Structure 1
Amino acid sequence: MESYDVVVVGVGSMGGATCRTLAGRGMRVLGLETFTPGHDQGSAHGGTRIIRQSYFEDPAYVPLLRRAYAGFRELEEESGRSLVRTCGGIYIGDPSSPTFAGSRAAAVEHGLAHEVLTAVEVRERFPTMDPADDAMAVYEAEAGYVRPEETVVAQAEVAARSGADLRFGERVRSWSVTPGGGVEVVTDQGRYGADRLVVTPGAWAPQLLGSLRLPLRVERMVFHWFTPDTGAVPLVAWDQDRHPVYVEQTHGNEQIYGFPMTDGPSGGFKLGFFRVGTPTDPDAVDRVVREEENDAVLARARQLSPHLGRPVVQAKTCLYTITPDEHFVVGRHPEHEQVSIGCGFSGHGFKFVPVMGEILADLAQHGTTPHPIGLFDPTRAALRPAPG
């Protein structure tokens, strides 16, 4: 049986970052992944993911975001790939909405450069948008997007170049701790031993971490690319040189997010619901996007951007693995100190990829990390099974 310092189960976004960090530190690393690098079967695909620091989810994320931003730039240098574009970001809502108020609170608490705009100012600066008259917005110039598939591939390339043994197309069936204090991992092709294990299984967390009884909900999500109507607004207004990424929720409507045109007019204008999904099995996802799903998101998106039109350029599904409080699950396994876990990223984890790789590598190598991860404790009250 082959043996390593660390086995990483799942070489997608978080697992790939962990392999890259551990290999860069000189550890003997094995990464095991069911699919190919940069695949579209999980969560890390779709061409773009928003990066932002004025974080309405909780100001406690901001220090991690600062480190993640630096980590993406370092990965660009190491891989020679272009991954990040800062086109600005705007977070719009009525004054009491979490999208606006939470973003502003995070920006103020951490001294982030930002502007507060009225609805009139939003319309003047971004003519594709027509928010409600009483809406307010936080504009953050340092926000933008990252390329998820390119990031995952870049991490794998750098990790392999640093000596990591990455095996794609090899599905993990089980893992166990050994009497000597190590671990054994069983795949559909073999068995492997290691001193430490990192489990970053994405939507397959309920299967591979079932003993923890984590209350994870795997959901099928859809994102869509629509055609801008250029009759009222010039096409250039939708371009990434002039249009920001955005998140909007006003007076309790469904929260939406979107991007500028990142790949020219033929690529369309990507957007989607932020938290509207349907429960699914990751091995039996319905990948067909129906016309009524396109209709629903377009009707909602037009509340902010009335000049969005058809045809639908494309639509794709992805997977969210959601915790009850929508915070991540990152830490040492509560029953096995030689095992670390990273899962439940709840649809907003990709912007943290580089720093999560550092955190999980720290936990595997040292059992602790200097990064603040108390919010993600696997034993926190929100994750405890209900009595009975």
Structure 2
Amino acid sequence: MTFEKGVDMDAEVAVIGVGTMGSMAMWRLAERGVEAIGFERYAPGHDLGAAGGNTRLFRLAYMEGAHYVPLLKQALGLWGELSEVSATNLLVQCGGLNIGRREDPSMRQVAESARVHGLKLLPLGRAEMADRYPQHVLAEDDMAYFDPEAGFLRSEQAVVAAADRAESLGARILRRHRVERVEPRRDGVVIEAAGSTWKVRTAILAMGSWAPSWLPPELARHLRPKRVLLSWFAPAYVQDFEPEVFPVFTRQSGGDFLYGAPTADHASVKVCGIRPSDIDDPDTFERRHDPDELTSMAELLTSHVTGLHPYPVRSAGFTDLYSSDGHGITGRHPRLPNVVLAGGYSGRGFKLAPAVGDAVARLATGETVPDIAFMAPDRFAGGRR
């Protein structure tokens, strides 16, 4: 879709924040022929936000709820499209294990999402798991569901690929441009960044953990940036953790939740289990694990996975924006119709990113949007409950 640009407009749509969601929005706008300009305080693919840490899990049978599956299916197709146009295998579909007790709520949700949407899902008992995937230490009542569509995404590469594709189609991305002011007006939105001013018809705010200060208080109070700790471990035998024999996994075990991915570099294996914690400032939080966190992670690892050295060879902290109900915010600003919001995906967003990017591109250009009412901003901002 194309628009006739007014003489005083610098672009039809501005995307503020060209990270996970912003890069995908830029790509989907550019594919439609929409003139778009992106503002990024760092550069697409930086490791200071929610995309850092090399990989993210992709799961189709979804413990977070069956209502996510249509978006995940759309995202799966778009990940394939972006991989093709970028000549990069962004999604490695090595399959995925959901491990826990069959009666656990999260395991029931996985099974229900597969049932509702006709997904392939293979149940594996404890004996079958021990035979196929001996890397996992299982309790007597543990079992697993194997999701053949699952895998891992190359996160920073994916953001760069989306941004590059958008630019190749004519979009502009202004790197090292920190936005200082966003002023919605009746006829558009004025943006100030790096000492210059731009005017566009519609702005998409995709600022990640930096978003709350730009939002109205009734919405911002439901959002909180969190510190997310990731860790990588050296395998005793790397061949035991290659994608062909060690699928991605999530693991509910009592009060613990772990997740991990096979080796992506043939040297280390990503396993994470420290719960995200609140931070005040995404620019100044502590990015290193403290000694207690390292000890806790070592204990979690050794009680659930075998064949890895217990202390990480690499650990790092990143930041993501969490909402009070765990669902993202995707939709028009409750009071400003020429501002579209995309944020607060609460650790669930990366796998959905191209579908969310497509949705906000549709919102910004007046197209019909798939049913994403569960992410609507007005559920928090004095609208429906």
Coarse TM-score class (shorter-chain normalised): over 0.9
Distance 1:99 1:262 in 2: 27
From 183, 188, 195, the counterpart of 1:189: 195
**CA distance in 1: counterparts of 2:285 and 2:26, whole angstroms:** 28
Partner of 2:244: 241
The one-letter code matched in structure 2 to 1:144 is G
Structure 2 CA distance for partners of 1:311 and 1:250, relative to 1, 3 Å: closer
Gap change, CA 1:12 and 1:103, over 3 Å in 2? same
Provide the rounded CA distance (Å) in 2 between the counterparts of 1:169 and 1:276: 28
Q: Which one of 61, 64, 69 corresponds to residue 62 of structure 1?
A: 69
Q: Which residue of 1 aligns with 2:338?
A: 338
Q: Which residue of 2 aligns with 1:260?
A: 262
After superposition, the C-alpha distances for 1:43-84 in whole angstroms (9 at most, x for unaligned) are 102111000100110100001100101001101111222211
Assess if the C-alpha contact under 8 Å between 1:220 and 1:280 holds in 2: no
CA distance in structure 2 between the aligned counterparts of 1:100 and 1:352, rounded to whole angstroms: 21
Identity %: 32
Q: Distance in 2 between matches of 1:99 and 1:247?
A: 10
Contact 1:45 1:149 in 2 (8 A): yes
Question: How far apart are 1:311 and its partner, in Å?
Answer: 4.8
1:166-181 to structure 2, matched below 5 A, reads 166-179=173-186, 181=187
Mark the CA change 1:336 to 1:187 in structure 2 (over 3 Å): closer, same or farther.
Answer: same
Alignment of 1:125 onto 2:127: no
Following TM superposition, by how much is the alpha carbon of 1:240 offset from its aligned partner in structure 2, in angstroms?
A: 1.0
Matched residues in 2 for 1:109 and 1:52: separation? 15
> 2:113 aligned with 1:114, yes or no?
no
Question: Are the structure 2 counterparts of residues 274 and 304 from structure 1 closer, same or farther at C-alpha, using a change threshold of 3 Å?
Answer: same
* TM-score normalised to structure 1 length: 0.93
CA contact 1:97–1:250 (8 Å) conserved in 2: no
Residue 9 of structure 1 pairs with residue 11 of structure 2: no
1:218 aligned partner: 225
Distance 1:336 1:226 in 2: 47
What's the secondary structure of 1:64's corresponding residue?
A: helix
**Conservation of the 8 A alpha-carbon contact between 1:298 and 1:308:** no
Give the Cα separation in 2 of the matches to 1:99 and 1:337: 37
In 2, distance between residues paired with 1:88 and 1:245? 7
SS state at 2:304 partner: coil
**Code of the aligned partner of 2:378:** T
Write the letter of the residue equivalent to 1:70.
G
User: Structure 1: which 5+ residue stretches go unaligned?
Assistant: none
Gap change, CA 1:306 and 1:384, over 3 Å in 2: farther
Alignment of 1:130-169 (within 5 A): 130-169=137-176
Question: In the TM superposition, what is the alpha-carbon distance from 1:212 to its structure 2 partner?
Answer: 4.6
Aligned partner of 1:188: which letter?
Answer: A
CA offsets 1:264-314 (integer angstroms, 9 cap, x no match):
0x2x11011274324241121212222322221121122221333145221
C-alpha contact 1:224 1:294 (8 A) present in aligned 2: no
Deviations 1:304-341 (A, max 9, x none): 21333145221111112111110110011110111110
Contact between 1:13 and 1:44, CA under 8 Å: does it hold in 2? yes
Deviation at 1:37, TM superposition (A): 1.9
CA deviation after TM superposition for structure 1 residue 183, in Å: 0.7
Q: CA deviation at 1:250?
A: 2.1
Deviation of 1:213 (Å): 3.1
Q: Which residue of 2 aligns with 1:374?
A: 373
Which residue identity lines up with residue 77 of structure 2 in the other structure?
A: A
Query: 1:312 is paired with a residue of what secondary structure?
Result: coil
One-letter amino acid of the counterpart of residue 369, structure 1: T
Worse-matched range after superposition: 61-70 or 274-283: 274-283
The SS at the match of 1:354 is helix
Is it true that 1:97 corresponds to 2:104 in the alignment?
A: yes
CA apart distance, 1:217: 1.3
The C-alpha deviation readout for 1:63-121, integer Å capped at 9, x for no partner, is 11001010011011112222110111000112222332211111111110011111222
Cα distance in structure 2, aligned partners of 1:210 and 1:295: 40
2:307 maps to amino acid: H
